[in-house]
Amino acid sequence: MSGRIAAATVLAVVAFAWLPTSAYAQTKPELPLELEWNAPSECPSRDDVRREVARMALTGATGETLRRVDAHAKVTKLASGAWHVRVETLVEGTKGVRAFDAETCAAAADGAALMLAIAVNPLASMAEIEPPKPEPKPAPVPTPDPSASPPIAEEPPPSPSGRRLTAQPLVSLGAALAADFGTLPSSALGVQISLGVSPGPLRVELVGGVWSPQNATSSLFPRDGAHFRLMTLGARLGYALRAGVFQFVPYVGASVARLSADGFGGTATFEQHATWIAPLVGFALEASFARFLSVRLTAEAQVPTARSSFVVVDQGPGGSPGGAAASSIHDVGSVVGVGSLGFVLRIP
């Protein structure tokens, strides 16, 4: 009887020792990621990025939750000192492209690793992605001091890319060479100065313009005419649509124009002034080649609410009052076109 008990005991010990290596052993899944990493030498290496992706994507994962990912990542340093990351992925036949900026190359690598980990394992939780943090030691409770001032609230920490989570409005200053078609007797060049603010994708802007003066003469009396001067001031409201380094900004607004004419010839010299408001619609196309500097092309159409006419009166041959005749020198167009090309500087 005792011999049978001893034999059963030996068999139980052997079975217990064999179970962890067979029935309960689980093989950790391989990381299904093919990564081409193109970054400067001071940045984390390809192996560093793969290890970080594996840590985030494989924690608690099974083969059923993982997806095959082929990725190409490129990190470049901008003239402003920031780091630009572009990640192209092919996930089970579906292509994707993501891009972002970071303050340091290490932050750029962390952001790329996070994107790739989610692509490999969409079910990875944030608790698994974030590295473990040491538990803080309890701080001693300070003795209250009635004379002490209230504590100052700490600022929120920056985002992982090094930027704050809330977008700050940017002030914009612009200068452009512009052309006007329809306000003056012939097409005219001018200079426009703009001042605006950019809260997020919105664009709010004031634009002032001074245009080159022109002379126009009467078709009936070639010696009679006027000297024209034009000044404009307008407001625009637009919404920016971004595609890489380009921005397309459709906008609406209104412009106030003041056209002055000093007459010459005719029965007497004269001064005429006309002021009107013109609703407008247009678009701007911007290309950003530096962090805060852009090249901008604009085109817009204006509809003057009042069409002013400028005329000159001549007495005709012999100077007899009975032969006096009025001749039109210029009529403002029913639709005015304005275009410009210049630079925009945005200041945070």
- Give the residue extent of every domain in the chain: 26-129, 170-347
Residue 104 backbone phi and psi in degrees, to 5: -130, 160
d(CA 183, CA 341): 19
CATH classification (class only), 170-347: mainly beta
CATH of domain 26-129: 3.30.160.100
Decide if 226 contacts 234 (C-beta within 8 A). Answer: no
The two tokens of residue 156 are 């929120």
Distance CA(50)–CA(36), nearest Å, equals 10
Beta strands in the chain (DSSP E): 33-38, 69-77, 83-91, 94-102, 170-181, 188-198, 202-211, 214-217, 225-239, 241-243, 246-264, 271-288, 293-302, 309-314, 325-331, 336-347
- Beta carbons of 176 and 343 less than 8 angstroms apart: yes
pLDDT tens profile 17-29? 444 444 434 566 7
Whole-number pLDDT of residue 14: 41
Distance (Å, rounded) from C-alpha 235 to C-alpha 252? 8
pTM, two decimals, is: 0.50
> Is the per-residue pLDDT at 270 higher than 80?
no
Name the residue among 33, 59, 35 with its Cα closest to residue 45: 35
Same fold, 26-129 and 170-347: no
What lies within 8 Å, CB to CB, of 222 at 6+ separation is none
Q: How far apart are CA 222 and CA 266, in angstroms?
A: 10
Greatest mean pLDDT range, 62-76, 156-170, 230-244? 230-244
Residue 143: is its pLDDT beyond 70?
no
| Partners of residue 228 on adjacent β-strands | 214, 261
Q: Which tokens sit at 219?
A: 């078709």
127 — pLDDT class (breaks 50, 70, 90):
very low
> How far is it, in rounded angstroms, from Cα 304 to Cα 97?
46
What number is the average pLDDT over the span 27-53? Answer: 88
207, 216, 313: which is closest to 260 by C-alpha? 216
| pLDDT attached to residue 139 | 66
- Residue 93, Ramachandran bin (φ over 0: left; ψ between -120 and 50: alpha; else beta): left
121: left (phi > 0), else alpha (psi -120 to 50), else beta?
beta
pLDDT at 10 over 60: no
